[in-house]
Amino acid sequence: MESVAAAVTRLQTLASDPAILALAERFQSAGHELALVGGPVRDAFLGRPVNDLDFATSARPDDIIRIVGPVADAHWDIGRAFGTIGARLGGTTVEITTYRSDAYGADSRKPEVAFGDTLEGDLGRRDFTINAMALRVPELTLVDPTGGLEDLLAHRLATPGTAEASFGDDPLRMLRAARFAAQLEVEVDDAVVVAMHSMRERLQIISAERVRDELTKLLLTAAPRRGLELLVATGIAEVVLPELPALRLEVDEHAHHKDVYEHSLTVLDQAIELEGERAGARSGSLTPPDLVLRLSALLHDIGKPATKRVESGGVVTFHHHDVVGAKLARKRLTALRFDNDTIKRVSRLIELHLRFFGYSDAPWTDSGVRRYVRDAEDELERLHILTRADVTTRNRRKAARLRGAYDELEERIARLAEQEELAAIRPDLDGERIMAVLDVPPGPLVGEAYRFLLELRLDEGPLGDEEAERRLRRWFESREASD
């Protein structure tokens, strides 16, 4: 964290951009206040990058448009109902929001918006003190009525008033607390933790979309584990993602972790680490966090509670937990309103995550390798990462054996891919050629023949047109004879 003086100077420099000063002077000339607020102020003190700028003002939305319109390259009022107007000034994007106070009714899923009159009042209704600081412009004076700077210096997450009042205004703030705990590596105040536990059921009034967005932001942080553990410890996960705390009751048969819950968090940690390593090795630079991979890592074992069996001798098994887990993940992600593509990819990865285990004992034929690639399709790189991350055993010899086996599998995939264009496996003959060879019209028979040739391709590799035609005719003749 930067020194206070350096951070204030950085803030003042940021707000002294000619376009921002010109905007501030327009508000001042119109008799309205303007202040840089929230995340940009907090991030300046933390030495984090500050991109888009959020402002608060005494002006109402119509007044904001009249003031901003003449000097903005573009402006939009998509958040007008909540008092927010967006604008682009040169290369800077800003959002300007009327002082306000949001609160949820007893059963409302959307906050009721009430406009306020003072900056201090607006800051006092914000979620946490570290987000309740502002810099008045053009005066360039810091406003911190709730002690946000002191909490930031102490690495503490606290609410401006009582936590109960803050979460009553917007229950989603309980999820934000978990996200900030992970993102900013702050300790959550005891009073906040107590309120999160006692008020967790209030999250049921929040729309699934808002819950999804906040969980997504948490998972995309550099190290989401701290936030997820807070959600489980406070009981909030039981409301928004019950499959996660359910894992605490299960013993993992692959490792010596305390339970499947701890194993799953470790898999997530390792997947994130591998995600960065492999992306950097390919591109030489950082890539955006991979939500599909992280959801898959977190949820890969959620089928275990439903499939747990105690066999003779006390051996615990979880047969078919991959298939059951894929179905459960699909159901939960659908309830959280994730998009269909994400749901499809996550559930497929969970379904495939056990395919590799056993390879180290009995290496696959080339046919098995081809099928592994074919079944993974576009998810092959993610499956590589998830499978490697799923090795959490503390037995170093076993871990090394599994790591070496997967290294070998990836090398074989690379060799076959170079020889056979493995990523785009298709039969030697396409549909048009099948119809010509068999002299049949389009229909189910062509699809059946195509699948027969695809199985040959997977089992034996490229056959060449002549051999493929010979095999196809023989298959067709035997089929006709059996009919």
Residue 114 has pLDDT above 90, yes or no: no
Span 410-427, average pLDDT: 72
DSSP string, 194-241: HHHHHTGGGGGGS-HHHHHHHHHHHHTSS-THHHHHHHHHTTHHHHH-
Distance CA 312, CA 274 (A): 38
**C-alpha distances in Å from residue 112, one per residue of 56, 106, 116, 127:** 18, 11, 13, 16
Pick from 150, 143, 148: nearest CA to 129: 148
**Burial (CB count <10 Å: 0-12, 13-18, 19+), residue 437:** middle
pLDDT at 115: 86
Residues in the chain: 483
pLDDT at 34: 96
Helices and strands in the chain, H and E counts:
24, 13
Span 117-134, average pLDDT: 94
Span 383-400, average pLDDT: 92
Distance CA 344, CA 52 (A): 33
Instruction: Give the model confidence (pLDDT) of 289-304 as tens digits.
Output: 999 999 999 999 999 9
Distance CA 128, CA 160 (A): 6
Span 318-344, average pLDDT: 96
pLDDT at 256: 41
Could you give the percent of the chain with pLDDT greater than 90? 52
Distance CA 186, CA 177 (A): 10
Distance CA 325, CA 299 (A): 8
The mean pLDDT of the chain is 87
Pick from 141, 98, 142: nearest CA to 122: 98
pLDDT band for 105, please (50, 70, 90 cuts): low
Tokens of 331: 């159901």
Span 155-165, average pLDDT: 96
Q: Which range (180-189, 195-204, 263-272, 399-408) has the least confidence?
A: 399-408
Instruction: Give the model confidence (pLDDT) of 446-477 as tens digits.
Output: 888 888 888 887 777 778 888 888 888 888 88
Residue 164, H or E segment: helix 163-169
pLDDT at 346: 98
pLDDT band for 103, please (50, 70, 90 cuts): low
Q: List % helix, strand, coil for the chain (3-state, nearest 5).
A: 60, 10, 30
Contact residues for 259 (Cβ-Cβ < 8 A; gap 6+): 247, 248, 249, 250, 251, 252
Q: Which residue type occupies 221?
A: T
First to last CA, the chain: 78
Could you give the percent of the chain with pLDDT greater than 70? 90
pTM: 0.82
Instruction: Give the model confidence (pLDDT) of 171-218 as tens digits.
Output: 999 999 999 999 999 999 999 999 999 999 999 999 999 999 999 999
pLDDT at 239: 97
Distance CA 325, CA 427 (A): 32
pLDDT at 255: 45
